[in-house]
């Protein structure tokens, strides 16, 4: 593999891990919140989009022979736990989780698009499209009261830090 191919494989690996993690976070939130409240319905809609993002990255990984992160079992449990824990604090904390994660993902996808330039139109198109939807998720979460969650700055800061660490780990492991 050339270094470019390796770099793009690593991008795909971390992105698939992130989208997978997102589906697990929302699954944890919906397990606590049920399906019927207005907030739960918003979360279910976002979860559907994450599932679509994940499916596309899954397919690209198969086509390109890129292995998934070995940390997938960890993101399975950690994502679900983060979702359930924030939903147990309350719906606004669940939304604060989304706002924090999507803020990091927007930055992460933006960096990837800069790095890719014109090198990989297929990957760039997927990242660009998903990034726009992640920003909608962030806006949805903020409109739903994310910033009124208890201890919002602390909660948000901790989740953003966790997200950055997860991105770093999934790039290589
Ligand atoms: Fe996504
Ligand atoms: Fe999202």
For each of the chain's 173 residues, which pLDDT tens digit applies?
567 888 899 999 999 999 999 999 999 999 999 988 999 999 999 999 999 999 999 999 999 999 999 999 999 999 999 999 999 999 999 999 999 999 999 999 999 999 999 999 999 999 999 999 999 999 999 999 999 999 999 999 999 999 999 998 888 88
The four Cα atoms 133, 9, 163, 16 give a dihedral, to 10 degrees, of 50
List Cα–Cα distances, 49 to 41, 42, 111, 159, in angstroms: 13, 11, 22, 21
For residue 1, the CA-to-ligand 2 centroid distance in Å is 31
For residue 3, the CA-to-ligand 2 centroid distance in Å is 29
Q: Hey, what are 68's tokens? A: 């998934």
pLDDT at position 2 is 67
Q: Please tell me the number of the ligand nearest to residue 43's CA.
A: 2
For residue 105, the CA-to-ligand 2 centroid distance in Å is 8
Q: Please tell me the number of the ligand nearest to residue 20's CA.
A: 1
pLDDT at position 1 is 57
pLDDT at position 22 is 96
pLDDT at position 48 is 96
For residue 114, the CA-to-ligand 2 centroid distance in Å is 20
Residue position matching structure tokens 């993002």:
53
Radius of gyration of the chain (CA): 16
For residue 102, the CA-to-ligand 2 centroid distance in Å is 6
Residue position matching structure tokens 């990242």:
127
Neighbours of ion ligand 1 (CB under 5 A): 19, 50, 53
How many other CB atoms are there within 10 angstroms of residue 34's CB atom?
9
Tell me how far apart the 2 most distant CA atoms of the chain are, in Å: 50
For residue 70, the CA-to-ligand 1 centroid distance in Å is 20
Residue position matching structure tokens 């924090």:
100
> Which DSSP symbol is given to 148?
G
Instruction: Please state the pTM of the whole predicted model.
Output: 0.92
């Amino acid at each position: 593999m050339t270094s470019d191919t390796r770099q793009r494989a690593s991008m795909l690996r971390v992105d698939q891990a992130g989208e997978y993690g997102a589906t697990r976070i929302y699954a944890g939130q919906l397990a606590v919140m049920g399906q019927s409240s207005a907030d739960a319905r918003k979360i279910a809609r976002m979860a559907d989009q994450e599932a679509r993002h994940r499916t596309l990255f899954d397919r690209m990984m198969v086509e390109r022979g890129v292995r998934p992160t070995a940390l997938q079992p960890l993101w399975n449990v950690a994502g679900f736990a983060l979702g359930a824990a924030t939903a147990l604090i309350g719906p606004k904390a669940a939304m604060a989780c989304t706002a924090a994660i999507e803020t990091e993902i927007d930055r992460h996808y933006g960096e990837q698009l800069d790095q890719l330039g014109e090198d990989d139109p297929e990957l760039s198109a997927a990242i660009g499209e998903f990034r726009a939807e992640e920003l909608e998720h962030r806006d949805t979460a903020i409109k739903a009261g994310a910033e009124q969650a208890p201890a919002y700055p602390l909660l948000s800061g901790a989740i953003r830090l966790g997200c950055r660490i997860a991105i770093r780990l999934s790039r290589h492991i």
